[in-house]
Amino acid sequence: MSAFPGAAFPGARPRRLRRTPALRRLVADVRVRPADLVLPVFVKEGIAEPHPIGSMPGVVQHTRDSLKKAAHEAAQAGVGGLILFGVPEVKDARGSGADDPAGIVQLALADVTAEVGDDLVVMTDLCLDEYTDHGHCGLLTDAGEVDNDATLERYAAAAVAQAQAGTQVVAPSGMMDGQVAAIRAALDGAGFAQLPVLAYSAKYASAFYGPFREAAECAPQFGDRSAYQQDAGRGADEGVREALLDVAEGADAVMVKPAGPYLDVLRAVAEAVDVPVAAYQVSGEYAMVEAAAAQGWVDRRRIILEQLTGIRRAGAGMVLTYWATEAAGWLDEQ
C-alpha cells in the first residue's frame, strides 16, 4: 500500500475538480455577481471638471454631469447599486448642507435617479462629517464632544431631505446610539415608510479610512472618532450586538466596515441576523492594492477578484467597492 493517503483512498481526490477553469467554475459554491456590487461615488459642489483623488488612483470627486455618466456606466455594467457621498462648497458646525433641499447630495440624487431610473439602486450615505467644518459625525457640545441626541435630530432631518430628493436607500454611518430608530421614525412620519435603511452597524475606528477623508474632505480638525466608532480590539460579539440593536430599531439591512480586516465580524454578523448583510471594502483597502499593482508587485485583476470573493465567502450579500463597475465587466467575462 502506498504511504500517500491520496493513493490509498482514490475516491478522496478533491484535486480532480480543480484541473481546469471550467471544472472550477462548475463546482464553485461562492460566486460574485455584478448585482452584488455597490459603487461608492463622491460628488463635489463648485467644481467644473472631475477632480482626481491622489490617494485613490482612478477615483474622482465628480461634478453633477460626470456623476450621471458614472452612474450610467455602472448600470450598463450590471452593478447592483451606488452610494452617494456629497462634498459641499461651504461647511459649518451643524452640517447645514446635509438637509438643505438645494444641497449637493439632494441635487445630485435628482440627477442620478433621472439618469438610471430603476436600473440600479441609488443609496445615500447619511452622516454629518462631510458637511461639518470640524469634520466630526455630529453636533458638538461646548466641551468638543459629539452630542449624541442632538445629532439624532440632524440625522432625522437629513434622512427626510434625502427621501424627498429621491434616494432609494438611506445608509446612516455615524455610529450614534439610537440613530436607526430616530431615522425610521422620521421617515415614517414624513410618509416614507417604504424607504429601506441600511445601517452601518459594525463600523470600526480604522486607519483604513485615510484616503476616503481626502475624497470627502472630512478629516476631523481635532481628535478622532474612536469615542463613537467601534474598537478593533473588541471581539466579534460586540459587532453582532450592534447589528442586532439596529435590526431591532428597524434596519432593513446591516453593514460591516471595513471589510477585509474584519471578516470574522462579518461572518458572525451574517450568522446572527435575518436581514441582508453588506460589507464596505474601504478606501485604504483599495489604495493598497492600487499602489502594489502600480509597482508590479501583484496581479491587479486577480487580487481584486480574490478579495471580493473572500468578502462574499465570509457572508456579505452586498459588497461596496470602488472597483464595482470595472469588476462587473470582469465577472461577466467569467
What are 14's three cell numbers? 478533491
- Identify the residue whose cell numbers are 452597524: 201
Rounded Cα distance, 334 and 317, in Å: 19
What single DSSP character describes residue 146? B
Q: What values do phi and psi take at 246, rounded to 5? A: -65, -40
Task: Please report, for residues 29, 324, 333, the alpha-carbon distance to residue 330 in angstroms, rounded to integers and kept in the order given.
Answer: 18, 10, 5
User: Is 69 labeled as catalytic in the residue annotation?
Assistant: no
Rounded Cα distance, 51 and 53, in Å: 7
Task: Count CA within 13 A, CB hemisphere, residue 187.
Answer: 29
How many beta carbons lie within 10 A of that of residue 220, not counting itself? 14
Cis peptide bond prior to 172, omega within 30° of 0: no
Q: How far is CA 236 from the centre of its chain?
A: 19
Exactly one of 44, 68, 91, 257 is catalytic; which is it? 257
Ordered alpha helix ranges (H), the chain: 5-8, 21-27, 64-77, 104-116, 148-165, 179-189, 210-216, 236-249, 263-272, 283-294, 300-313, 324-333
Mapped onto helix, strand or coil, the DSSP state of residue 326 is: helix
User: Is 203 labeled as catalytic in the residue annotation?
Assistant: yes
DSSP string for residues in 68-130:
HHHHHHHHHHT--EEEEEEE-SS-BTT-GGGT-TTSHHHHHHHHHHHHHTTSSEEEEEE-STT
Rounded Cα distance, 79 and 74, in Å: 5
Query: Known catalytic residues?
Result: 203, 257
